[in-house]
Every structure is written in structure tokens, then in C-alpha cells.
Amino acid sequence: MPTPKTMTMHNDSAVFVAGHRGLVGSGVVRQLQQQGFSRLLLRTSKELDLRNQAAVDNFFKAERPEFVFLCAAKVGGILANSSYPADFIYDNLAMQTNILKSALDHGAKKLVFLGSSCIYPKFAPQPMTEDALLTGPLEPTNEWYAIAKIAGIKLIQAFRRQYNFNGICLMPTNLYGPGDNFDLQSSHVLPALMRKFHEAKINGQSQVSVWGSGTPRREFLHVDDLASAAVHLMQHWDDERIVNVGTGSDVTIRELADLIGATVGFDGEIVFDSSKPDGTPRKLLDVSRLQSTGWRPSIPLADGIRATYQWYLEHQVSSVA
């Protein structure tokens, strides 16, 4: 089987960042701009509905992106995932399939696909190596999203094998940072707690409710680190083997809550709401494959939380009721 040719992005390469308004896509755009890439192709979801195959195909036909970062995805926290299973499986399957097929048909040189650490089995040995994929049952709260992402990986591996298409798959851990979703129902834990603690401090509340038992462990990566890894791997990884992207260390939800509470300046009580799900007990990535490419994260969690809180303070007016 022939191996796809190594392809390097140049500053004037046409680069499509799908989902550039989201947490990940906006981080990738900032990273590309900082590194001097000047031909970025960007479309809002209003301008281009990625679930519409004909629209996606027309876009690729007209613009001929050479490199593609597939950051567009329907994402959300534990409650959103279990409340809207159809959106999480359908939207993700449709967007990624349309983009991949058009990238193949219109000669894109390389594509980076972003998956998620929730593709691994609920009780995978920790830290989770890439080989844990498809070795056991998934966490039920997010199996719809996980199945879509696993299908994306398999689609890319099949395109590589059958069509010599140069696509690579990165599996990021839980992400956070500027541009995150702070809606209390649909967000992930980190932005949700930041907003809850902030509003409790402003309103003089003595308690904040944190979902679940506080014992699950999660690994958090700042989106600017993820974006730097994605650009690095676009330039330096050419292999059908998937690559975990994380920090290699994790915290309990209780520790995270303490850290965010201290950063925000909330000095009341934290109460755990056991009527809400815990989800996977632990989700720590083994990052040896990533490290073997020479990449390391640079933003410690405490610094990242401080910077994200600063961003939240500057942008919260429109996001807080």
C-alpha cells in the first residue's frame, strides 16, 4: 500500500479551518496567524452549512483548499451530550463525512481531523494509549458523539488505505480557553464552574453547586496548546495511527472546583449534587506518541484558568443573563 506523500504547509498555502468560530477553530486560526499563514479560508455556519453535502462540495470546488483543519463539530458537556443524542451523532457524522469526501475529490493535500478522548472505553486502563480504541464499551452519556468521532477516524484510515489520502487524526483531551461556551446547561465543567463561582461572588451567594460526586478525574488542555499541537502535527505527522493530545496529568473535579473558586475569589461553600451524572471515572491520555514528535504543552492549568477568567470578565456581558 503506498504511503501518502509528506506535505508541508507554506505561508501562502490555502488553508481551510472548518469551524473557525468555535473554541478549537478560533484557537487554530490564532495559531496559524501567529505563524504567518496568510491564506486562511473561513466560513461561518450561516455562509456554509457543513451538513449540506452539495454546499460543501461547491465550496471545495471553488476555493480548492490545500490543507484542512477539521475543527467543526457539535460539542457540549455531559448533559448536552446525553440530552441531544441525535444532534451529536448526526451533525458530526454529516459534517466530517462531507468535508472528507470533498477534500478527497478536490485534491486537498492534507487534512487534520480532531476527535476526542471520549472515543476510548469507559474503563480503559489509565493513562489511555491509542491502542485502547475499540477494546470495550463506551461511556453511555457520550456514546453518540464518540461513535461519530470513531467513524471519522475509520473514514480517514480507509481513505488513506484505499485512496492514498493524507489525513491524520488527533484525539484531544478536555479543552478550555478563550471563546469557550459558558452556558450552564450545555457547557463543559471548566467554563460552567467559572461562571457559577463568578456569579455566586457577584450575587453574594454562600454556596455553589457542582455536579456529581467531585471524584471523577479529568485532564485539561488549554486550546492554544491544542492549536499549537495541531499545526505541529500537520507539519510533522504522516501516519494512519491516531495521536493523543493532552498534558499527561489530571485533577479531580473537586480539585478543579477549588482551583477555579480560588482564582475567581469565591470563598463560600462547594456542594456536590449527586443527582447529576459523573460520567467516566477517569480520562487521562498517554501522550508518549505525541511527545515522540517533539511537542510539549506550555500552559500550566493554573495559568490557563487565570487567563480564561480574564477573557470571561472581558466578554461576559453578552453571555450572562
Instruction: Give me the residues that bind ligand GFB (CB under 6 A), please.
Output: 77-78, 81, 116, 118, 141-142, 145, 174, 187-189, 192-193, 210-212, 216, 218, 253, 276-279, 283
What's the CA angle centered on 186, arms 181 and 191, to 5 degrees?
40
Which of 48/251 has CB closer to ligand GFB? Answer: 251
Q: Which is nearer to ligand GFB, 253 or 301 (CB)?
A: 253
CB of 103 to ligand GFB, least distance (A): 24
Residue 91 one-letter amino acid: D
C-alpha to C-alpha distance for 30 and 39, rounded to whole angstroms:
13
Q: Which is nearer to ligand GFB, 43 or 196 (CB)?
A: 196
Alpha carbon 295 to its chain centroid, in Å, reads: 18
Q: Which of 84, 90, 145, 163 is catalytic?
A: 145
* Nearest residue (CB) to ligand GFB, 108 versus 190: 190
Q: In whole angstroms, give the CA distance from residue 19 to residue 29.
A: 10
The 3-state DSSP class for residue 287 equals coil
Provide the residue type at 3 as one letter.
Answer: T
Q: How far is the CB of 259 from ligand GFB (least distance, A)?
A: 13
Q: How far apart are CA 228 and CA 38, in angstroms?
A: 17
CB of 102 to ligand GFB, least distance (A): 26
Instruction: Give the distance, in angstroms, between the CA of residue 242 and the centroid of all CA atoms in the same chain.
Output: 15
- Within 8 A by CB and 6+ apart from 53, the residues are 94, 97, 98, 101
What does the buried/exposed string (b/e) look like for 154-163 if buried means 16 or more CB atoms within 10 Å of the residue's CB?
A: ebbbebbeee
192 or 242: whose CB is closer to ligand GFB?
A: 192
Please state the closest distance from residue 144 (CB atom) to ligand GFB, in A.
9
3-state secondary structure labels for all residues of 85-100: HHHHHHHHHHHHHHHH
In the block, cell 473514514 appears at 155
Tell me, yes or no, if 145 is annotated catalytic: yes
Q: How far is the CB of 209 from ligand GFB (least distance, A)?
A: 8
Shortest gap between Cβ of 191 and ligand GFB (angstroms)? 8
Cα gap 60→108, rounded to integer Å: 9
Residues 6+ apart with CB under 8 A from 45: 21
**Residue with smaller CB distance to ligand GFB, 99 or 189:** 189
Q: Ramachandran region of residue 10, left (φ > 0), alpha (ψ -120 to 50) or beta?
A: beta
CB 276 within 8 A of CB 216: no
Catalytic residue numbers, as ranges: 145
